[in-house]
Structure 1
Amino acid sequence: MTKHQSLLDTSNKLFAILTKELNVNTVYIARRDEKVMTVINARNEDRTIVTPSMQVSYDDSNCRYVHENPSGTRSFKNLMTDSETKDRPITEQLQVKTFLGITIQRMNGVPFGTLCIMDPEEKTFTDDQVAFVESFAYVLSYMIELDETIHDLELISVPIMPLTPELAILALQGNINDRRASKIMEDTLHYASEKRIRHFVIDLSEMLHTEQSSVDLLKRLVSALRLMGVRVILSGIPVSLAKDSTTIELLNKLDVDYVSRLENALPRLGFEITKVGTPS
């Protein structure tokens, strides 16, 4: 099951309604990542214009106009003649005229991506039709929340891996909301105390930085472990954390060591990694 299975299943049904009711060729959802828009689901009627997994840089995408519009909605009657879009590579590539985009937000307000409509012919959408599409985008927001909640529940058990009687690894994964942060804090401190851990390596490479609670957790967790006399090493800091100036300022104040990869942490603690070969 993919991370956004509910979103995919629901959008397939909504796409069929939208293409019929609005008489358009293409409906798709594009997820917004750091610098790229990635199509995660699409429906095409007579002509294939957009396909799943298709990627366009954020700056070159039509979705940029949607996300940069305060209303979260943007439409073009003819991309090929409009002064803002006619000379862009994506316009030449797709050869479509009509575009309507609606921002899809997670329930916490963080942008997820865009619900988009395209057609090779010129079309004008009424206010009621735009509101109709916006209502579908709102439904998809709930599906994203459902999928990410299910994903978080799969990760709810705190993944602590003991390596030696005094050394353990905590692998933080996925979104960390307030509920998960409390669970991670409680279980990690209890484990460190019960097992008398002296060294904790906290791996962040699979952690998603979509909420402030993830940063708050690091601050509180590291501080508490250090008060307990535990040495902490952070490994695999994701780009989403590293590029945030407020987060960097906070991390620089923590009494921890940093390594780029998990395997680099062990030599710092006096452990040697040896490769086991096949006996000759």
Structure 2
Amino acid sequence: MIMKNENDPPMLKSYRDFNDAAENVLKLMSQFIHINTLFIAKNDLQTNTIVKVYNQDQVLLKEGSQLPFKETFCRLSVDQGREILVIPDITEYELTSGMKVTENLGGGSFIGIPIYYENGKNYGTICGLDNKPFEFTEKHIELFTTISSLLTFVLELEQANNQIQNLSAPIVPITKGIAILPIIGDITQERYEIITKMALMSSERMDLSYLVIDLSGILRINDRIGSFIENIVNMLQLIGTTPVLTGIRPDLAMKVTEMSVKSFNDLIIESTLERALKRIGLYFTEQEVTVIN
């Protein structure tokens, strides 16, 4: 067991995605502004959805709750543009005094600022809400403004990571009904979920009879590899797509053998991509691709 010295620097926390980061951001903000409810909402200009919420005392909002966008304080914040909206008393503010939300709260205060993607498109808002008047300071305004910019950066990182994940396992169409899925890099739980979802959706959208999964680009063989292959094979078979495996190295073959995966008994497995394509009746000539049924 490794003992941590009190003088050691704090361990860095990693976040899985935007939602994970957002939850921790709200908890951190609650230490600096003692307004009852802090929340992040996402909107499509039609519906406002509470993505993450942190209630200190009373539960004023719940995660996942939705309202028509036009009936929310968030809409007023988005209308304000990049300038923060501060309302110390919602019963005295012209635009909120007659709103249903104000009536339900019975009074209170609001602060909000939009969260944007890098291209300027609005994601939603980060806000503070209370059912009693609250005195906002310049420090509070600076806090919300800074966190809004930080979350824009987190959104861009998440989008960039998703693009990288997709590029490392692209679905490559070969001819009608046949495509190749080359898997490159390490298989983490996150990548497993992305690759599986992409394989299933693409197989259905492209009406694939065969999906050739090339495993030669996998960097490291670990305990989850066999389960990953078995699961994706089973799911493809369930939707009517025949999986074909190729590029299985000796170390991967040993791992699969150790697991005694029954799904592999009747599976098409070839050492190379060329042999796999020929096995399903696909032949290449210098001028064209020929499919032999």
Query: Please, what TM-score do these two structures have when normalized by structure 1?
Result: 0.53
User: Hey, what does 1:72 align to over in structure 2?
Assistant: 83
Write the mapping of 1:46-195 to structure 2, written as runs, cut at 5 A. 46-156=57-167, 157-160=169-172, 165-166=175-176
Shift of 1:168: 7.2
| 1:158–1:6 CA distance, 2 compared to 1 (3 A) | closer
Mapped to 1, the partners of 2:30 and 2:107 lie a distance apart of 15
Query: Please, what TM-score do these two structures have when normalized by structure 2?
Result: 0.51
Mapped to 2, the partners of 1:155 and 1:94 lie a distance apart of 44
Residue type at the aligned position of 1:89? K
Residue type at the aligned position of 2:70? D
Shift of 1:96: 4.6
Shift of 1:17: 2.6
Deviations 1:229-269 (A, max 9, x none): xxxxxxxxxxxxxxxxxxxxxxxxxxxxxxxxxxxxxxxxx
User: Hey, what does 1:7 align to over in structure 2?
Assistant: 18
How many residues are treated as equivalent by the alignment?
Answer: 168
Mapped to 2, the partners of 1:167 and 1:40 lie a distance apart of 39
Matched, 1:20 2:20: no
Structure 2, unaligned stretches of length 5 or more?
A: 1-14, 180-204, 208-293
Residue type at the aligned position of 1:23? H
Mapped to 2, the partners of 1:73 and 1:168 lie a distance apart of 52
Secondary structure of 1:22 counterpart: coil
User: Hey, what does 2:51 align to over in structure 1?
Assistant: 40
Mapped to 2, the partners of 1:149 and 1:95 lie a distance apart of 43
Write the mapping of 1:252-267 to structure 2, written as runs, cut at 5 A. none
Q: Any conservation in 2 of the 1:29–1:113 contact (CA below 8 Å)?
A: yes
| 1:68–1:168 CA distance, 2 compared to 1 (3 A) | farther
Moved more, 144-153 or 129-138: 144-153
Q: Sequence identity, in percent?
A: 19
Structure 1, unaligned stretches of length 5 or more?
A: 170-200, 204-280
Residue type at the aligned position of 2:67? V
| 1:87–1:8 CA distance, 2 compared to 1 (3 A) | same
Mapped to 2, the partners of 1:70 and 1:119 lie a distance apart of 22
Secondary structure of 1:137 counterpart: helix
Residue type at the aligned position of 1:159? I
Secondary structure of 1:147 counterpart: helix
Mapped to 2, the partners of 1:95 and 1:147 lie a distance apart of 38
Mapped to 2, the partners of 1:85 and 1:166 lie a distance apart of 57
Secondary structure of 1:152 counterpart: helix
Residue type at the aligned position of 1:144? L
Residue type at the aligned position of 1:128? K
Deviations 1:9-33 (A, max 9, x none): 2222221232221111110000121
User: Hey, what does 1:31 align to over in structure 2?
Assistant: 42
Residue type at the aligned position of 2:140? Q
Q: Which structure is larger by alpha-carbon Rg, 1 or 2?
A: 2
User: Hey, what does 2:3 align to over in structure 1?
Assistant: none
Mapped to 2, the partners of 1:202 and 1:96 lie a distance apart of 54
Residue type at the aligned position of 2:28? I
